[in-house]
Structure 1
Amino acid sequence: MRVVPAVRAGVLRTMMSATGTTETLVTTLADILPPLAPNAQRLYLLRHGQTDWNAEGRAQGGGFDIELNQVGRRQAEIVADELDGIPLDVIASSHLKRSRQTADIVHSLHHSDAKRVVMRGFGEMRFGEFEGYAIRGPLCTPERKAYYLGVAATLRESADTKWPGGGESTRDVETRGRLALQQLLNDTQAQHIAIVAHGRFNKIMLSSLLYQDSTKHQDITQGNTCVNVLDFEGDECTSQLLNYVDHVES
């Protein structure tokens, strides 16, 4: 077995060479993604790193501004290394700390020449009265879990149903998210754009862009610092990667 030295951070992948020998290679996204078409734009949609509320299973929407914890900061450094070699022109984030901090780490480590943008349209969904409450894990009561699942089921049925207590609907998030994305794509005319956003926001945007049905967002998974890669060419949107988390899991 020949091991290629880890000259940069990345993911170890074992592959079979043409001669039949096994090789362990250090690869990043730049090594595995196909070339971008000349007239296309490539979007790298990330979720922020972990917060204490993530770890505790609390609903963390747009109404609370929670910072990254130590694990989340390390995750941000790892995903920054994973994006090394990608010629990012723009790094955008929402206005919330967990998103901004993750994007700032990506920007500072390998892409300090990229334009840094903050847009409120990329903020997390507001979950109304559920924000701050545990909805999974040991801190979640059976009663709260049942209530949460019941409300979540109504959101699956209708994109216009809002979370009780002043929350947003799926359509609210879809509308502001697509407007912000279109503005960013049009204003920058950049080829390689990273957006660091949020779990539910990403799910809604992905289901809207790829399936034309934002109510399907509950079928999508988004881990902390996952990377989704979408190519935009004309009116077409093509997914290259969804919920890519090899860098975190390895």
Structure 2
Amino acid sequence: MRPRTIFLLRHGQTDFNVRGIVQGSGVDSSLNETGRRQAAQFFAAYGHVPFDKVYTSALRRTHESVQQFLDLGLPHEAHPGLNEISWGTREGTRITMDEDAEYRQVLHDWAEGRTDARLTGGESPEEVAARQRPFIELLKAREHEQTVLVCMHGRALRVMLCQLLNYPLRYMEGFEHSNLCLYKLEFTGSFFTVKNFLDVSHLQAAG
């Protein structure tokens, strides 16, 4: 069996991203003008790829990021398991390392391996990983889907990459992300390998 190709994409920019406000799974925002342009740039670069399936989270910003692919009539499934981590009571508020002691402590806990820690009312990385696993098993099992596009969210993407590449979740900060960035993976049927890491060349090439 020849390797399958998985495109893991983070959604495009929203106004919440610009303002530093966390969206999580509870804020169902739309792309802003920059985000729509990023989506168009990605489509310009990869619209020729014969994707067998497009997967998104259940949130609007992922659908909008790949809408031009969906407009081609490509098969599409939305999976809540791909939703962003829940930031609990802090969703819709601005969180920064400098200003927020609780956030700073949770990130420290995660880096130290305490990946069951969470913000008040929110999810832990362990819980995100658990809800992603049924999707991962589905992805592995669908061998006929040779080339797949998956659009999801920043923190959830970090958790997903740790799972696919067999890294402990405490290493998730190593998988950097930005709006409409691409991680391109190959799957041999036994293991995943990264071919493109934090790829934003599609955005730069289009200006």
Shared fold per TM-score greater than 0.5: yes
SS in structure 1 opposite 2:5? strand
Q: Tell me the C-alpha RMSD between the 2 structures.
A: 1.8
Q: In 2, Cα distance between the equivalents of 1:162 and 1:189?
A: 38
Q: Give yes or no for the alignment of 1:120 onto 2:80.
A: yes
Q: Which residue of 2 aligns with 1:134?
A: 94
SS in structure 2 opposite 1:65? coil
Q: Which residue of 2 aligns with 1:72?
A: 35
Q: Give yes or no for the alignment of 1:106 onto 2:66.
A: no
Q: Which residue of 2 aligns with 1:163?
A: 118
Q: Which residue of 2 aligns with 1:54?
A: 17
Deviation of 1:205 (Å): 1.1
Structure 2: where are the runs of 5+ without partners? none
Deviation of 1:199 (Å): 0.6
Q: In 2, Cα distance between the equivalents of 1:164 and 1:212?
A: 23
Q: Which residue of 1 aligns with 2:170?
A: 215
Paired residue type of 1:40: P
SS in structure 1 opposite 2:24? coil
Q: Which residue of 2 aligns with 1:4?
A: none
The share of aligned pairs that are identical, in percent, is 30
Q: Give yes or no for the alignment of 1:143 onto 2:136.
A: no
Q: Deviations over 1:21-78 (max 9, x none)?
A: xxxxxxxxxxxxxxxxx43221100000100100111112111111111111111111
Q: Which residue of 2 aligns with 1:173?
A: 128
Q: Give yes or no for the alignment of 1:152 onto 2:107.
A: yes
CA contact (8 A) 1:159 1:214 kept: no
1:201-240 to structure 2, matched below 5 A, reads 201-240=156-195
Deviation of 1:161 (Å): 2.1
TM-score (norm 1): 0.76
Q: Deviations over 1:98-149 (max 9, x none)?
A: 01111223332xxx1421111111110111132222124xxx8x432x3321
Deviation of 1:215 (Å): 1.6
TM-score (norm 2): 0.91
The structure with the larger Rg is 1
Q: In 1, Cα distance between the equivalents of 2:51 and 2:118?
A: 36
Structure 1: where are the runs of 5+ without partners? 1-37
Q: Which residue of 2 aligns with 1:84?
A: 47
User: Which stretch of structure 1 is more off in the superposition, 234-243 or 178-187?
Assistant: 178-187
Q: Deviations over 1:186-219 (max 9, x none)?
A: 2463100000000111111112222421221112
How many equivalent pairs are there? Answer: 205
